[in-house]
Amino acid sequence: KQEVTQIPAALSVPEGENLVLNCSFTDSAIYNLQWFRQDPGKGLTSLLLIQSSQREQTSGRLNASLDKSSGRSTLYIAASQPGDSATYLCAVRRGSGGSNYKLTFGKGTLLTVNP
């Protein structure tokens, strides 16, 4: 059974700092990995999706990397801003692809960026 772990559970940083959020998964046979952001009381916003054949994806100040063999992904946020404060979740899709579209989620990292 796939398990996804995110460490740390909470992180507080001063504005302007570069930071890294971690995601690890127990079964390396994944099809893709997705990073989401969730603001309090809101739905999830998709940030980045990395296919199993890719090493990284970038969107603006965000960069996600994937090391499938070691079961790890990182989300790098450059020059953090107070507006980046939210919970960040990662989720993996099972490696068979095809008709199996289920995701397994981590519990998230609560990020606070202090002005």
Partner 1 sequence: DGGITQSPKYLFRKEGQNVTLSCEQNLNHDAMYWYRQDPGQGLRLIYYSQIVNDFQKGDIAEGYSVSREKKESFPLTVTSAQKNPTAFYLCASAGTGRSNEQFFGPGTRLTVL
Q: Is 96 exposed, middle or buried (0-12, 13-18, 19+ CB in 10 A)?
A: exposed
Q: Which is nearer to partner 1, 6 or 80 (CB)?
A: 6
Residues that bind partner 1 (CB under 8 A): 4, 31-32, 34, 36, 41-46, 49, 51, 89, 91, 93, 99, 101-103, 105-108
Q: Which is nearer to partner 1, 68 or 93 (CB)?
A: 93
Give least dist CB 113 to partner 1, A. Answer: 22
**113 - beta bridge partners?**
13
Q: Are strands 72-77 and 56-59 parallel, antiparallel or unpaired?
A: unpaired
C-alpha span between 74 and 1 (Å, rounded): 22
Q: Which is nearer to partner 1, 13 or 44 (CB)?
A: 44
